[in-house]
């Protein structure tokens, strides 16, 4: 008898056999594809907060005209990218750039999840700081933790989502690591989807006026944190999606729960 959770059509073997004109034939069961997708999703490492992030549950904030225009362009560009990827007409990547809380990670995960669900593509979410930390520990003889597998995955997985790029103080070592990842992926035509709070002139960002409010991180230029080489390869291989000027969704939610 089939155990609970097993496919009732194939008993969990992934193959269905039936009789066609007196000849026994076997056919791949649909559940095998589902199982493969489930495993890819499991390995994708998307953090719990973003497991359900999709285009459908992303609001373009219709009550805020400025944010609405920015976010509508962002979603449209991200969706178009997924369509082109599925058609095979792009192997480029994406870089989401903008202030914290403007939905960059949400949209980047929505793209990654679409590529997994519709393309069966091996997409992996990697947190930039965690990647550097683990890699650093793996080179430290005094540390028993850390693994080089994380770095290897970042280099070679089919599609990489590198979240919060540049969120670590600059050092030669940091520059070397991130340049290796970006260059390797660029040279091997492996798409990279990145998000960053940092600024870049290529995304239309201007220097922050002296004395302006806002968090400290967002004042830096991307090149100041990851170096010129990685930065220029990145823009070579990625389409830019800017959420700069949209509303901070976290603050918005806090405000709306405070007033209800």
Ligand X SMILES: Nc1ncnc2c1ncn2[C@@H]1O[C@H](COP(=O)(O)OP(=O)(O)O)[C@@H](O)[C@H]1O
Q: Is 214 left (phi over 0), alpha (psi -120 to 50) or beta?
A: left
- Contact partners, residue 102, CB within 8 Å, separation at least 6: 71, 243, 244, 246, 247, 248, 249
Mask of contacts with ligand X, 168-207, x by CB under 6 A? Answer: ---------------------------x------------
CB 93 within 8 A of CB 238: yes
Whole-angstrom distance, CA of residue 36 vs CA of residue 34: 5
Mask of contacts with ligand X, 133-162, x by CB under 6 A? Answer: ------------------------------
Which residue number, 105 or 179, has a Cβ lying nearer to Mg ion? 105
Mask of contacts with Mg ion, 69-108, x by CB under 5 A? Answer: ------------------------------------x---
Q: Note whether 53 binds ligand X by CB under 6 A.
A: yes
Q: Tokens 């870049």 label which residue? A: 200
Q: Note whether 37 binds Zn ion by CB under 5 A.
A: no
User: How many of the other CB atoms lie within 10 Å of CB of 23?
Assistant: 7
Q: Note whether 9 binds Zn ion by CB under 5 A.
A: yes
- The residue within the footprint of ligand X, chosen from 93, 103, 123, 191 (CB under 6 A), is 103
In the structure encoding, which two tokens stand for residue 73, read together? 């362009």
Closest CA to 191 of 93, 80, 81, 119: 93
- The residue within the footprint of ligand X, chosen from 91, 148, 250, 255 (CB under 6 A), is 250
For Mg ion, the binding residues (CB under 5 A) are 105
For ligand X, the binding residues (CB under 6 A) are 49, 53, 58-59, 61, 71, 100-106, 195, 249-250
């Amino acid at each position: 008898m089939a155990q609970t959770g097993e496919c009732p059509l194939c008993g969990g073997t992934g193959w269905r056999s039936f009789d066609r004109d007196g000849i026994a034939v076997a056919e791949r069961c649909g559940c095998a594809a589902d199982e493969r997708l489930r495993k890819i999703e499991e390995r994708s490492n998307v953090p719990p907060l973003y497991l359900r992030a999709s285009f459908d549950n992303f609001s373009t904030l219709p009550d805020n005209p400025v944010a609405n225009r920015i976010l509508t362009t962002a979603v449209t560009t991200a969706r178009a990218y997924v369509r082109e990827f599925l058609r095979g007409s792009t192997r480029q990547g994406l870089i989401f750039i903008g202030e914290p809380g403007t939905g960059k990670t949400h949209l980047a995960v929505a793209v990654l999840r679409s590529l997994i669900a519709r393309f069966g593509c091996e997409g992996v979410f990697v947190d930039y700081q965690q990647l550097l930390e683990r890699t650093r520990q793996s080179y430290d003889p005094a540390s028993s933790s850390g693994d080089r597998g994380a770095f290897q995955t970042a280099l070679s997985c089919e599609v990489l989502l590198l979240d919060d790029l540049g969120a670590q103080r600059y050092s030669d070592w940091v520059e070397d690591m991130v340049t290796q990842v970006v260059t390797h992926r660029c040279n091997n035509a492996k798409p990279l989807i990145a998000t960053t709070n940092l600024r870049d002139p290529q995304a239309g960002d201007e220097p922050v006026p002296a004395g302006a409010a806002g968090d400290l991180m967002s004042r830096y230029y991307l090149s100041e944190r990851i170096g010129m080489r990685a930065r220029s390869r990145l823009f070579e291989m990625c389409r830019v999606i800017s959420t700069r000027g949209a509303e901070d969704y976290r603050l918005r939610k806090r405000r709306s729960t405070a007033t209800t």
